[in-house]
């Protein structure tokens, strides 16, 4: 079982940005932690990060063909709240998709309370730090093994 983990804009700045919100771990730290967790639970992972909306859409579109993924874990960052293009890309792909956020977006600014991606995902997990990614991997595994 292979999970494609896609991270959007500014997540490459983890460890340096808003540590009070996102913590001190870098994206590389989180990716390594998620990869180890996934492997211990019988899953392979591949990671992709971009600050560009079109590149994120292409990664989603190519999730099955290029990445051979069985599921997608997506932290789209700010694109979560207004990228209808990314939402349309998610609708095109018929594998489980879980939207994740490191912080609890519902405890933050009002604009973060609305996701235009969630309707095209199997579920949304937020507020558990890097564990949000791990929980999403488990959710996809559960969906695929039912």
- Cα separation of 56 and 79, whole Å? 10
Q: Quote the pTM value.
A: 0.92
Distant-in-sequence contacts of 107-110, Cβ < 8 A, 24+ apart: 108/21
> 62 is written with which tokens?
């190519």
Helix, strand or coil for residue 99?
A: strand
For 28-73, write each residue's pLDDT tens digit: 999 999 999 999 999 999 999 999 999 999 999 999 999 999 999 9
Annotated active-site residue in 22, 79, 84, 106 = 22
Over its C-alpha atoms, the chain yields an Rg (Å, rounded) of 14
- 79 among known catalytic residues: no
What band does 15 get if pLDDT is binned at 50, 70 and 90?
confident
At 25, the pLDDT band (50, 70, 90 cuts) reads confident
Question: Is 22 among the residues known to form the active site?
Answer: yes
- Among residues 67, 84, 101, 106, the one annotated as catalytic is 101
| Main-chain dihedrals φ then ψ at residue 100, nearest 5 degrees | -130, 155
pLDDT at 108 over 90: no
């Amino acid at each position: 079982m292979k999970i494609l983990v896609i991270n959007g804009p500014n997540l490459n700045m983890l460890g340096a940005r808003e540590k009070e919100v996102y913590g001190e771990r870098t994206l590389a730290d989180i990716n390594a932690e998620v990869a180890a967790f996934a492997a211990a639970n019988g899953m392979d992972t591949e990671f992709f990060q971009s600050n560009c909306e079109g590149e994120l859409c292409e990664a989603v579109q190519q999730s099955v063909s290029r990445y051979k993924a069985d599921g997608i874990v997506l932290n789209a960052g700010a694109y979560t709240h207004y990228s209808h293009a990314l939402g349309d890309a998610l609708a095109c792909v018929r594998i489980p998709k879980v939207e994740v956020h490191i912080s609890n977006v519902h405890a933050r600014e009002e604009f973060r309370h609305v996701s235009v991606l969630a309707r095209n995902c199997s579920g949304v997990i937020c507020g558990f730090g890097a564990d949000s990614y791990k929980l999403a991997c488990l959710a996809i595994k559960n969906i695929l093994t039912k």
